Amino acid sequence: MSMITTDFLSDIDNAVNNLDFYRLYKVMCRYYHIDMLALLDLNTWPDDKNINAACVAIDSSDGVPANLNVLTISEENMIFSDVKSSIIPKIWSKNETAQSFDFYEGSTDPCAVTFPIHSATSRHYVLVGLMQQSNIKKLPLAEAHYHSSLIFQKYHETVLVPSSLPTVTPRELQVLKWSAEGKTSQEIAVILSLSEHTVNSYTARVQQKLQVNNRAQMVAAAIRTGLIQ
Amino acid sequence: MNTQATKIKLLFVDDDPTEFDIMKRLCRDMDHQKIDLVCRHSVEEACEVLGEQDIDMILLDNQLMMDDDFRSSTPKLRAQHYTGPIGIVSSNVRTDYFQDIEEYGADFRIGKDELDRQTIFYIINEFAPKNVV
């Protein structure tokens, strides 16, 4: 058990994309016997009833439940209302979980564990775990909270809000320059021997860093700031 | 996640036939996802496939018999003007050079022991185009 922990902690620094963090959360599922872990963005809830899941990792033999990427949660939801104003991890009973997670079609009668997370930029997330009652009794809550915080910290600075990074990387600059030449993502992918997905990821990161919403604005902002001529 | 059934063509490159059997088992009977699996033993064979078929995603064994690792094999696939996602499958994905994966044209790394149906489903949703059946 301790070897798995050491392994997944040492891999946090190497995580660079969504899948790497999915892998980390999945290892965390296996280590703590959690059926499902979901990292949810609570910033606009309950004004907006839809909560976006940044990452959902499932380690269950029940198969793949559909559509957990966006959850529609009413403002009366007991667990989410509590988490919204809380900073401490908490374990929830079967009954409380059943009332608040009626959308989950996975293992029967799970209990929930919640880890509220506040980012350095005052964004509010929660890591929700669903697990069997027999396993939740053995869960070392403080240790699991610490591990979830370590993963989140890296996830936040690497993927969720990369604009907190100070500079544009050489690869991002290449994508920026070719975008300014009017090339499409597919054309840039061929030129740089990358996938279209990677090119789109670089484009999205640059747009976040320059705080713009589309390619035209990105190119204009890059020229204004002297990134490209 | 998409609740409608989607279909993708997946090219799996590995020099070990046992891995083909394992992958076929993982890919069959998936809810919400149809996978047309094409298996090849070498990068050269994979390049031929890329010239003949539209491939949505490639899973590439890191250490193929004739190639050192993904740093030499991925550029050969990209040289075919393939712009879809390439994932590197390895028994050890924690080696430091995996941090430079995007520099060599690959998109992601995944451990052989980490591949299960849920993870494949996640990877397809994250990286591959979604073609509703």
pLDDT classification of A23: cutoffs 50, 70, 90: very high
Residue A40 within a domain: yes
Q: What is the pLDDT of residue A58?
A: 84
Q: What is the pLDDT of residues A92-130, one digit of tens each?
A: 998 888 888 877 766 567 899 999 998 877 778 999 999
Domain match, A91 and A144 both = yes
- Interface test with chain A among B50, B72, B101, B118, by most A beta carbons within 10 Å: B118
Residue A81 within a domain: yes
Q: How many structural domains does chain A have?
A: 2
Residue A46 within a domain: yes
Question: With 80 as the cut, is the pLDDT of residue A211 above it?
Answer: yes
The residue ranking higher by pLDDT, A225 or B75, is B75
pLDDT classification of A91: cutoffs 50, 70, 90: very high
Question: With 80 as the cut, is the pLDDT of residue A86 above it?
Answer: yes
Mean pLDDT, chain A, integer: 86
Domain match, A60 and A118 both = yes
- Of A14, A69, A186, which is closest to B99 when you measure between CB atoms? A14
Mean local confidence (pLDDT), A66-85? 84
Domain match, A110 and A205 both = no
Residue after which a domain boundary falls, among A110, A131, A158:
A158
Residue after which a domain boundary falls, among A116, A131, A158:
A158
Which chain A residue is nearest to residue B97, measuring alpha carbons? A14
- Of A57, A58, A193, which is closest to B105 when you measure between CB atoms? A193
Question: Look-up: residue for tokens 């591959």?
Answer: B128
Contact criterion met (CB < 8 Å) for B118 and A64: yes
Residue after which a domain boundary falls, among A135, A158, A181:
A158
Q: What is the pLDDT of residue A165?
A: 52
Distance of residue B114 Cα from the nearest chain A Cα, in angstroms? 8
Confirm or reject contact between A187 and chain B (CB < 8 A): no
- Of A57, A63, A193, which is closest to B78 when you measure between CB atoms? A193
Residue A229 within a domain: no
Q: What is the pLDDT of residue A28?
A: 92
**Chain A residues closer than 8 Å to B114 by CB:** 23, 26
Question: With 90 as the cut, is the pLDDT of residue A9 above it?
Answer: no
Domain match, A119 and A10 both = yes
Distance of residue A191 Cα from the nearest chain B Cα, in angstroms? 9
List the 5-64 stretch of B: residues with Cβ below 8 A of A. 30-32
pLDDT classification of A63: cutoffs 50, 70, 90: low
Query: Which range is least confidently modeled, A3-7, A36-40, A71-75, A90-94?
Result: A3-7
Q: What is the pLDDT of residue A1?
A: 43
**Chain A residues closer than 8 Å to B110 by CB:** 19, 23
Indicate the SS3 state at residue B43: helix
Confirm or reject contact between A214 and chain B (CB < 8 A): no
**Domain B6-127 belongs in CATH node 3.40.190.10:** no
Mean local confidence (pLDDT), A54-73? 74
Domain match, A119 and A6 both = yes
**Chain A residues closer than 8 Å to B101 by CB:** 16
Q: What is the pLDDT of residue A161?
A: 75
Predicted ipTM of the assembly: 0.84
Q: What is the pLDDT of residue A25?
A: 93
Q: Within 13 Å and on the Cβ side, how many CA atoms surround B80?
A: 21
What residues does each domain of chain B span? 6-127
- The domain in which residue A177 lies consists of 164-224
pLDDT (tens digit, 0 to 9) for every residue of chain B, 133 residues total? 445 667 899 999 999 999 999 999 988 877 677 899 999 999 999 999 999 999 999 999 999 876 689 999 999 999 999 999 999 999 988 888 888 888 999 999 999 999 988 899 889 989 986 665 4
Q: What is the CATH number of the domain that holds A195?
A: 1.10.10.10
Q: What is the pLDDT of residue A226?
A: 84
**Chain B residues closer than 8 Å to A193 by CB:** 75, 78-79, 105
Contact criterion met (CB < 8 Å) for B3 and A10: no
- Of B84, B94, B121, which is closest to A11 when you measure between CB atoms? B94
Which chain B residue is nearest to residue A202, measuring alpha carbons? B102
- Spatial CA neighbour of A32 closest among A149, A136, A110: A136
Mean local confidence (pLDDT), A58-81? 77
